[in-house]
Structure 1
Amino acid sequence: MADKSIDDYLATLGVEQRAIAQALRALVRTAAPGAREVIKWSQPVFEIDGPMCWIKAHKGHVTLGFWRGMQLPSAQGLIEGTGEKMGHIKLRTQADLKPAELQKLVREAMQLNRERGDPTRNP
């Protein structure tokens, strides 16, 4: 049996969640064109020098998460989280999509991974 693809994941979502997730995927692809797209931990994950960000659909929102979310220079006021590393943004409707802000966060996450390496192995 073939591994589940991101397209397979998106196909399981409701209309609004799918639209948000597809827009997020496009934003990540634009901001980090060299990122590898995989399904890990049952969700779409984007990798450059290790996992950088993920998309996860929940009942009432779609999350765009970052392994180093709390360390991103532009995170303040945008990223939620309680730890020192991971953080996320909850998008409840397509109106919550702020392309310029989200792409900036993705570029910052990509840069941190390039500077510090895989966040699952390095601080």
Structure 2
Amino acid sequence: MSHPNVIKLLEDWQSTKPELYPIAAAIFQRIRQQAPELIETPKYGGILFSRTKAESSTICGVFVYKGHVTLEFSQGAQLNDPYRALEGCGKYRRHLKFKHLNDLDAKHLNDYLTWAIQA
């Protein structure tokens, strides 16, 4: 069961970003399907997914921007990237950027989620 503030954030995205909401909701659902044990926390304007309540255990986060949705991986620089879909060049984080619903499969979302969850 999602935290009430997570549900509120999803509802906010649905009303304020209706063109991007289906993408964010689909990413959210795929994470819940692959790792229902993860803890959801609304933070930094997005939804973080962690192993424990400690921020250091954050695996990823979903964020909605003006023209796209990102799935940010906290330790993305360490992830396997055979599809070369990860973006970013920071010391730790990498992200996948989605502008269309079909990008989820085109950018191999399920594979990257599996690798991040198993890391």
Q: TM-score, normalised by structure 1?
A: 0.79
Is 1:68 the counterpart of 2:75 in the alignment? yes
Secondary structure in 2 matching 1:97: helix
- 1:1-123 equivalences under 5 Å are 5-13=5-13, 14-49=17-52, 50-74=57-81, 77-98=84-105, 101-112=108-119
Q: Is the 1:31–1:104 Cα contact (8 Å) retained in structure 2?
A: no
SS at match of 2:102: helix
- Where does the alignment leave 5 or more consecutive residues of structure 2 unmatched? none
Alignment deviations for residues 40-62 of structure 1 (CA, whole Å, 9 cap, x no partner): 22310011151000000000000
TM-score normalised according to structure 2 size = 0.82
Give the fraction of aligned pairs with identical amino acids, expressed as a percent.
29
Per-residue deviation at 1:99? Answer: 8.0
Q: Distance in 2 between the 1:6 and 1:17 partners?
A: 17
C-alpha displacement of 1:17:
1.2
- The answer on whether the counterparts of 2:51 and 2:59 sit within 8 Å (CA) in structure 1 is yes
- Equivalenced residue count is 110
Distance 1:95 1:76 in 2: 16
Per the TM alignment, residue 84 of structure 1 is displaced from its structure 2 partner at its CA by: 2.7
Q: d(CA) in 1 for partners of 2:97 and 2:72?
A: 9
RCO higher in structure (CA 8 A, sep ≥6): 1
Q: Deviations over 1:61-112 (max 9, x none)?
A: 0011100112111365111011131000110111211189212211211222
AA at the equivalent of 1:98: D
Determine helix, strand or coil for the equivalent of 2:70.
Answer: strand
User: CA–CA distance in 2 between the matches of 1:51 and 1:92?
Assistant: 24
Separation of aligned partners in 2, 1:98 and 1:28: 14
Q: Distance in 2 between matches of 1:59 and 1:36?
A: 26
Q: Which runs of 5+ in 1 are unaligned?
A: 113-123
List structure 1 runs of 4+ shifted beyond 2 angstroms: none
- Tell me the distance in 2 between the aligned counterparts of 1:63 and 1:32: 18
Q: Residues of 1 paired with 2:64 and 2:90: CA distance? A: 21
